[in-house]
């Protein structure tokens, strides 16, 4: 009897211990989330990404968790970041930032005016040939002056109407610990295995090559986020990502690059948490014609192609009605972008008539139009990484085939794509604007015709004789009415000549396990994955 009592007691205690252990594990698990990404993080965690520096895309959308900027962009407004306030001189040449006190980098070093000075001084060099492409300010930096430990003056060589917005850009304006920089200002090798920012999280340094572990930054100055620790698993295939979400291996997916709209709706209908970003569009998808190349140097061809493009059909069939058709290269909700335009409405018969009047006729009965021995044919080049874009461009190709144009999509790797743009050896390029944090200022700057060897957007002003001077004058303007006048001209120029054909305004998506996650809040740049935006059950 005593032996039985001992056994029962032992089993009861063991069960209680296991239950307690299970509850503890569950509690820990509830403070953790697992995400997924297509790329690994072998490129490291330096926040500046260019075509030659830190070209690995893995951490790009996660940098907001580790690094911060002096000011932030939220809901169309500039708000405090690492700077509590700022002053701008009347001539627009001096920006004085008043920094938060008692802020440290994740390596324990102080964030102060000297750290800001060091960061800003090395950014232009680390951008290299892309200086001026990721915001104009790096090209205008003149002198960084430390006034006191928590006040720094940034002096520019010329005024720039978009300067304050440039300071919100993670790439390239995020603040890193100077301890992680080499003596010449280049990023140290330590960025391969650690993060060095002031944000709420830091890389723990643990990975098996497929899963990376991140923990709270013990020095973080702001409100403590709910998630204690997060993991990022490398899963290249999007369907496999959804399977991982279904089986509990992954808790949340963020971003349209992680899922198609059809898959999003399927998961939503299956009871998963599903959210669409609101407010200003993330990007504008667009087509850029090489207007210096036959037959696309013919305005009639470009206008006919624009009229033959059924944007509404595209957003409904390819983008499930989540994206909306774009009549302008910029979402009208963006600064200076609410410009009155007469959009090229979908009208196939009108498009055919325009080509016939311009002399483009199917002479041999093969359904492809010709003029002066030149066939109406070519390629649309694009970066091949999203099956929705494959479908989009096949649809456009089909719509143009009805017009008598033989245009074939050609998917390419990113570096090969940019090499084609740099050589100006393309017919039509598919691309998208930089994103709501950069737009419209940065894209407008990159419309300068002299940048046509690097930017598809530069075709927008390629036919304007003084296009370079026009943008130079715009960037130095301080009067709102004058700035608006330039925007009115540029957006009408693009619309009336169809150098660029805007297709759709994008949104970002997230789906998550509702048993573990209660809600997710998109930040000011919805493509970013902000772990602090996750609210747990």
Under CATH, which number does the domain 284-505 receive? 3.10.105.10
Please tell me the pTM assigned to this model.
0.84
d(CA 9, CA 4): 8
Q: What is the bridge-based pairing of β-strands 229-234 and 32-37?
A: parallel
> pLDDT > 90: what percent of the chain?
81
Scored b (16 or more CB within 10 A) or e, 450-477 reads ebbebbbbbbbbbebeebbebbeebbeb
What is the per-residue pLDDT for 219? Answer: 98
pLDDT of residue 21: 36
119 Cα distance to chain centroid: 22
Q: Look at residue 30 in the predicted model and tell me its pLDDT.
A: 63
Q: Are 151 and 98 in contact (CB under 8 A)?
A: yes
> Does residue 245 or residue 58 have the better pLDDT?
245
Q: What does the pLDDT read at residue 11?
A: 38
Query: E-assigned strands of 176-210?
Result: 201-207
Predicted local confidence at residue 260, as pLDDT: 87
Fold of 29-43+192-279+508-536: D-Maltodextrin-Binding Protein; domain 2 (3.40.190)
Q: What is the pLDDT of residues 281-314, one digit of tens each?
A: 989 999 999 999 999 999 999 999 999 999 999 9
Q: Which residues belong to CATH 3.10.105.10 in the chain? A: 284-505
Structure-token match 């909700």, residue found: 333
Instruction: Convert the pLDDT of each residue in 83-97 to its tens digit.
Output: 999 999 999 999 999
Angle (deg, nearest 10), helices 348-357 and 387-403: 60
What's the whole-number mean pLDDT along residues 110-128?
Answer: 96
- pLDDT band at 54; cut points 50, 70, 90: low
Residue-level pLDDT at 4: 40
Residue 276: its H or E element: strand 273-276
Residue 256: pLDDT band (50, 70, 90) is confident
Share the mean pLDDT of the chain: 91
Domain with CATH 3.40.190.10 in the chain: 29-43+192-279+508-536, 67-187
Task: Give the count of beta carbons closer than 10 Å to the beta carbon of residue 279.
Answer: 15
pLDDT-wise least confident of 114-118, 168-172, 426-430: 168-172
Tokens 């772990």 correspond to what residue? 531
Q: Between vectors from CA 86 to CA 89 and to CA 110, what angle results, nearest 5°?
A: 130
6-20, 84-98, 338-352: range with lowest mean pLDDT = 6-20
For residue 436, what pLDDT is reported? 82
When the candidates are 3.30.450.20, 3.40.50.2020, 3.30.499.10, 3.40.190.10, the CATH number that belongs to 67-187 is 3.40.190.10
Specify the range with the lowest mean pLDDT, choosing from 44-53, 246-255, 515-524.
44-53
pLDDT at residue number 26: 37
pLDDT band of 209, cuts 50, 70, 90: confident
Give the Cα separation of 132 and 137 in Å (integer). Answer: 7
What separation in angstroms does the CA of 131 have from each of 166, 258, 442?
Answer: 12, 30, 12
Name 213's bridge partners.
Answer: 231
Whether residue 27 is predicted with pLDDT greater than 70 in this model: the reply is: no
Flag whether pLDDT at 6 surpasses 60: no
Predicted confidence at residue 467, as pLDDT, reads 96
The string of pLDDT tens digits covering residues 460-487 is 999 999 999 999 999 999 899 999 999 9
């Amino acid at each position: 009897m005593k032996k039985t009592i001992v056994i029962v007691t032992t089993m009861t205690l063991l069960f209680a211990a296991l239950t307690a252990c299970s509850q503890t594990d569950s509690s820990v698990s509830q403070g953790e989330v697992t995400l997924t990404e297509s790329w690994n993080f072998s490129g490291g965690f330096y926040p500046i990404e260019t075509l030659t520096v830190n070209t690995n895309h893995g951490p790009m959308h996660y940098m907001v968790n580790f690094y911060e900027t002096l000011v932030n962009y939220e809901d169309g407004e500039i708000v405090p970041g690492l700077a509590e306030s700022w002053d701008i001189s009347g001539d627009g040449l001096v920006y004085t930032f008043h920094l938060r006190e008692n802020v440290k980098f994740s390596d324990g070093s102080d964030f102060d005016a000297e750290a800001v000075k060091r960061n800003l001084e090395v950014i232009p060099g680390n951008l290299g040939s892309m200086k001026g492409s990721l915001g104009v300010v790096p090209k205008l930096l003149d002198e960084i002056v430390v006034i006191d430990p928590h006040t720094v003056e940034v002096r520019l060589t010329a005024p720039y109407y978009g300067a304050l917005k440039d300071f919100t850009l993670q790439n390239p304006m995020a603040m890193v610990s100077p301890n992680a920089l080499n003596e010449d200002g280049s990023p140290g090798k330590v960025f391969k295995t650690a993060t060095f920012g002031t944000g709420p999280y830091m890389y723990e340094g643990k990975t098996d090559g497929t899963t990376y572990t991140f923990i709270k930054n013990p020095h973080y100055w702001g409100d403590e986020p709910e998630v204690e620790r997060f993991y990022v698993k490398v899963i290249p295939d999007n369907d496999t990502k959804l399977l991982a979400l279904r089986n509990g291996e992954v808790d949340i997916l963020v971003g349209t690059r992680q899922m198609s709209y059809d898959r999003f709706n399927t998961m939503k209908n299956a009871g998963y948490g599903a959210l669409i970003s609101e407010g200003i569009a993330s990007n504008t998808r667009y087509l850029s014609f090489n207007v210096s190349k036959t037959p696309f140097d013919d305005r009639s061809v470009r206008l006919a192609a624009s009229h033959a493009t059924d944007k509404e059909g595209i957003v409904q069939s390819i983008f499930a009605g989540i994206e909306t058709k774009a009549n302008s290269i910029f979402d009208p909700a963006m600064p200076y972008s609410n410009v009155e335009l007469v959009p090229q409405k979908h009208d196939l018969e009108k498009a055919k008539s325009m080509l016939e009047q311009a002399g483009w006729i199917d002479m041999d009965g093969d359904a492809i139009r010709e003029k002066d021995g030149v066939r109406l044919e070519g390629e649309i080049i694009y970066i091949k990484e999203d099956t929705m874009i494959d479908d989009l461009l096949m649809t456009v190709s089909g719509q143009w085939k009805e017009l008598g144009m033989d245009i074939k999509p050609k998917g390419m790797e990113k570096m090969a794509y940019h090499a084609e743009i740099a050589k100006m050896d393309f017919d039509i390029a598919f691309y998208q604007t930089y994103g709501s944090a950069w737009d419209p200022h940065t894209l407008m700057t990159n419309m300068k015709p002299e940048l046509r060897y690097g930017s598809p957007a530069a075709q927008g002003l390629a036919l304007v004789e003084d296009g370079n001077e026009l943008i130079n004058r715009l960037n130095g303007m301080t009067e709102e009415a004058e700035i608006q006048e330039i925007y009115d001209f540029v957006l009408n120029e693009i619309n009336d000549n169809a150098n660029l054909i805007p297709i759709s305004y994008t949104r970002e998506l997230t789906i998550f396990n509702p048993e573990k996650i209660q809600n997710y809040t998109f930040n000011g740049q919805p493509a970013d994955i902000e772990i602090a935006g996750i609210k747990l059950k």
